[in-house]
Amino acid sequence: MQWQREQVLALAPDQASVKAAQSLTTVNTWPVLGRSEVALWGECQGSGKTPYKTAIDLREPAFKCSCPSRKFPCKHALALFLL
C-alpha cells in the first residue's frame, strides 16, 4: 500500500508530535535508512550518542522504536514514514 502524507499525519497522537516529526525529516538526521515492499527502517540521530532504531511494518501499519517516548507512534516513526 502506498501511504499519502495526510494518512501518515492522521496517525499522530497529537499536533506536537506532527511538528516534532517534521523537524526530523531531513536525510542528514537518518544516517541509516532501508526499505522493502513491506517495511521501512532506519536509525535517527538525536542529541545522544546512540541513534534510535526505528522500524515500520507498512501492512498494518505497526511501529517500533528504541526511544523512550510514551507517544505512539513516536516522532521518530512518524518522521521515518514521512521521508
Q: Is the pLDDT of residue 60 over 80?
A: yes
For 64, the 3-state DSSP assignment is strand
At residue 35, the pLDDT reads 97
13-41 mean pLDDT: 96
- CB neighbours (10 Å) of residue 20? 18
Q: Is the pLDDT of residue 61 over 90?
A: yes
Cα–Cα distances in angstroms (integers) from residue 65 to residues 17, 69, in the given order:
14, 9
Q: Is the pLDDT of residue 83 over 80?
A: yes
Number of independent structural domains in the chain: 1
Q: Is the pLDDT of residue 36 over 70?
A: yes
Q: Is the pLDDT of residue 54 over 80?
A: yes
Band of the pLDDT at 27, cuts 50, 70, 90?
confident
Supply the range of the domain harboring residue 19.
Answer: 5-82
Please report how the helices 75-82 and 15-22 are oriented relative to each other, as an axis angle in degrees rounded to 10.
60
